Amino acid sequence: MSISYIPGNGSYIDASENAGVIHHHVLSVLVENRAGVLARIAQLFSRRGYNIFSLAVAPTDDSRFSRITIVVDVDSAPLEQITKQLHKLINVIKISELDPADSVECELLVATVNADISSRGHVMELVALFDGKIIDVGVDKLTVLATGEPSKLDDFSELLSSFGIVELQRTGRVALAKLERQSNKLKNTTGRAG
Amino acid sequence: MKLTGAQALIKSLEMQGVDVMFGLPGGAILPVYDPIIDSPIRHILVRHEQGAGHMAEGYAHATGRPGVAMVTSGPAATNIVTPLADAYMDSVPIVVITGQVATNLIGSDAFQEADTTGITMSVTKHNWLVTDANDIPNVVAEAFHVATTGRPGPVLIDFPKDVANAEMDWYWPTSVDMPGYKPNTRGHSKMIAAAVKMLFEAAKPVFYVGGGVLNARGSEALAELVEITGIPVVTTLMARGAFPDDHPLCLGMPGMHGNYTAVTAMQKSDLLIALGSRFDDRVTGKLDGFAPGAKVIHVDIDPAELGKLRRPDVPIVGDCRSVIEDIIRAIKADPDAYQQRTDISDWVKTVKQWQEKYPLKYEQPALSGVLKPQYVIEKLRDAVPSDTIVVSGVGQHQMWASQYWKFNYPYTWINSGGLGTMGFAVPAAIGAKVGKPDRTVWAIDGDGCFQMTAQELVTASMERIPIKVALLNNSYLGMVRQWQEMFYGERYSEVYLSPDLPDYVKWAEAMGCASFRVENAEEVGPAIEKANEINDRPVVIEFRTDSSEKVFPMVPAGVTNDNIILGPEGLNGI
Ligand SMILES: Cc1ncc(C[n+]2csc(CCOP(=O)(O)OP(=O)(O)O)c2C)c(N)n1
Ligand SMILES: [Mg+2]
**Which of B129, B308, B310, B311 is most worth mutating to test chain A (most A CB atoms within 10 A of its CB)?**
B308
Of A77 and B162, the structure prediction assigns the larger pLDDT to B162
* pLDDT value of position A3: 33
CA-to-CA distance for B514 and B492, rounded, in angstroms? Answer: 34
A91 in the same domain as A24: yes
Report the CATH number at residue A120.
Answer: 3.30.70.1150
Q: How far is the CA of B339 from the centre of ligand 2 (A)?
A: 53
Q: How far is the CA of B126 from the centre of ligand 2 (A)?
A: 35
Q: Which of A38, A72, A98 marks a domain boundary? A: A98
A152 in the same domain as A125: yes
A9 in the same domain as A83: yes
- Closest approach of A72 to chain B, Cα-based (Å): 18
Residue type, B481: R
Mean pLDDT of B467-482: 98
Q: How far is the CA of B491 from the centre of ligand 2 (A)?
A: 17
A118 in the same domain as A88: no
* pLDDT value of position B75: 98
Chain B residues whose C-beta sits inside 8 Å of any chain A C-beta: 117-118, 121-122, 125-126, 129, 146, 178-181, 302-304, 307-308
CA-to-CA distance for B149 and B93, rounded, in angstroms? Answer: 9
**Proximal ligand: closest to the CA of B420:** 1
A67 in the same domain as A135: no
CA distances from B148 to A189, B216, B492 (A): 45, 11, 44
| Residues of chain A neighbouring B122 (CB-CB closer than 8 A) | 43-44, 47
Of B315 and A71, the structure prediction assigns the larger pLDDT to B315
Q: Is the pLDDT of residue A16 over 60?
A: no
A186 inside domain: no
A90 in the same domain as A18: yes
* pLDDT value of position A175: 87
Backbone angles phi, psi at B519, to 5 degrees: -115, -15
A88 in the same domain as A110: no
CB contact under 8 A, B307 and A91: no
To test the pocket of ligand 1, the residue of B477, B486, B498 to mutate (highest count of ligand atoms within 8 Å of its CB) is: B477
Of the listed ranges A9-13, A20-24, B467-471, the least confidently predicted one is A9-13
CA distances from B510 to A169, B469, B495, B554 (A): 67, 15, 26, 39
Which domains does chain B show, CATH number per domain?
2-169 (3.40.50.970), 189-357 (3.40.50.1220), 373-552 (3.40.50.970)
A189 inside domain: no
A184 inside domain: no
Q: Is the pLDDT of residue A190 over 90?
A: no
**Which of B149, B181, B278, B311 is most worth mutating to test chain A (most A CB atoms within 10 A of its CB)?**
B181
Pocket of ligand 1 (CB under 6 A): B 393-397, 420-422, 446-449, 472, 474, 476-480
A35 inside domain: yes
**Proximal ligand: closest to the CA of B445:** 1
A15 inside domain: yes
CB contact under 8 A, A43 and B146: no
Per-residue confidence band for A24, with pLDDT thresholds at 50, 70 and 90:
confident
Peptide bond into B35 cis (omega under 30): no
* pLDDT value of position B476: 98
Q: Find all residues with CB under 8 Å of A123, minimum gap 6, and list them.
A: A113, A115, A142, A144, A160, A163
* pLDDT value of position B50: 98
CA-to-CA distance for B451 and B394, rounded, in angstroms? Answer: 12
CA-to-CA distance for B18 and A181, rounded, in angstroms? Answer: 55
CB contact under 8 A, A32 and B179: yes
Q: Find all residues with CB under 8 Å of A23, minimum gap 6, and list them.
A: A12, A13, A73, A74, A75
Q: Which of A64, A98, A132 marks a domain boundary? A: A98
A194 inside domain: no
Model confidence over A109-154: pLDDT tens digits?
Answer: 999 999 999 999 999 999 999 999 999 999 999 999 999 999 999 9
Q: Is the pLDDT of residue B12 over 90?
A: yes
* pLDDT value of position B182: 94
Of the listed ranges A115-124, A128-137, A178-187, B433-442, the least confidently predicted one is A178-187
Q: Looking at the partner chain, which of A35, A43, A91 has a beta carbon nearest the beta carbon of B122?
A: A43
Q: What is the pTM of this model?
A: 0.93
Structural domain boundaries enclosing A145: 104-175
Q: How far is the CA of B497 from the centre of ligand 2 (A)?
A: 8
Model confidence over B43-76: pLDDT tens digits?
Answer: 999 999 999 999 999 999 999 999 999 999 999 9
Nearest-CA residue for atom 23 of ligand 1? B477
Residue B50 class from Cβ within 10 Å (0-12 exposed, 13-18 middle, 19+ buried)? Answer: buried
Per-residue confidence band for B351, with pLDDT thresholds at 50, 70 and 90:
very high
To test the pocket of ligand 1, the residue of B397, B447, B449, B486 to mutate (highest count of ligand atoms within 8 Å of its CB) is: B449
Report the CATH number at residue A30.
Answer: 3.30.70.260
Q: How far is the CA of A29 from the centre of ligand 1 (A)?
A: 42
Per-residue confidence band for B569, with pLDDT thresholds at 50, 70 and 90:
confident
Of the listed ranges A172-186, B42-56, B130-144, the least confidently predicted one is A172-186
Element holding B260 (H helix, E strand): helix B260-268
Q: Which atom of ligand 1 is nearest to the CA of B373?
A: 21
Is the separation of the CB atoms in B84 and B119 below 8 Å? no
Backbone angles phi, psi at B549, to 5 degrees: -70, 140
CB contact under 8 A, A92 and B302: no
CA-to-CA distance for B516 and B526, rounded, in angstroms? Answer: 11
CA-to-CA distance for B300 and B345, rounded, in angstroms? Answer: 28
Mean pLDDT of B380-397: 98
A126 in the same domain as A57: no
Is the separation of the CB atoms in B71 and B52 below 8 Å? yes
Per-residue confidence band for A74, with pLDDT thresholds at 50, 70 and 90:
confident
Model confidence over B304-345: pLDDT tens digits?
Answer: 999 999 999 999 999 999 999 999 999 999 999 999 999 999
CA-to-CA distance for B380 and B383, rounded, in angstroms? Answer: 5
* pLDDT value of position A78: 86
**Which of A86, A90, A91 is most worth mutating to test chain B (most B CB atoms within 10 A of its CB)?**
A90
Peptide bond into B31 cis (omega under 30): no
A110 in the same domain as A126: yes
* pLDDT value of position A183: 59
Mean pLDDT of B410-414: 98
A190 inside domain: no
| Residues of chain B neighbouring A78 (CB-CB closer than 8 A) | 307
Per-residue confidence band for A177, with pLDDT thresholds at 50, 70 and 90:
confident
Pure H helices in A49-175: 79-88, 120-129, 150-161
Q: Which of A98, A125, A142 marks a domain boundary? A: A98
* pLDDT value of position A184: 53
Mean pLDDT of B100-111: 98
CA-to-CA distance for A26 and A97, rounded, in angstroms? Answer: 6
* pLDDT value of position A7: 37
| Residues of chain B neighbouring A31 (CB-CB closer than 8 A) | 180
| Residues of chain B neighbouring A84 (CB-CB closer than 8 A) | 303-304
A69 in the same domain as A149: no
Which residues of B are marked as active site?
A: 49, 111-112, 161, 479
A160 in the same domain as A143: yes
Q: Is the pLDDT of residue B254 over 60?
A: yes
A180 inside domain: no
* pLDDT value of position B540: 98
| Residues of chain B neighbouring A91 (CB-CB closer than 8 A) | 180
Element holding B153 (H helix, E strand): none
CB contact under 8 A, A40 and B303: no
A17 in the same domain as A92: yes
- The domain tally of chain A equals 2
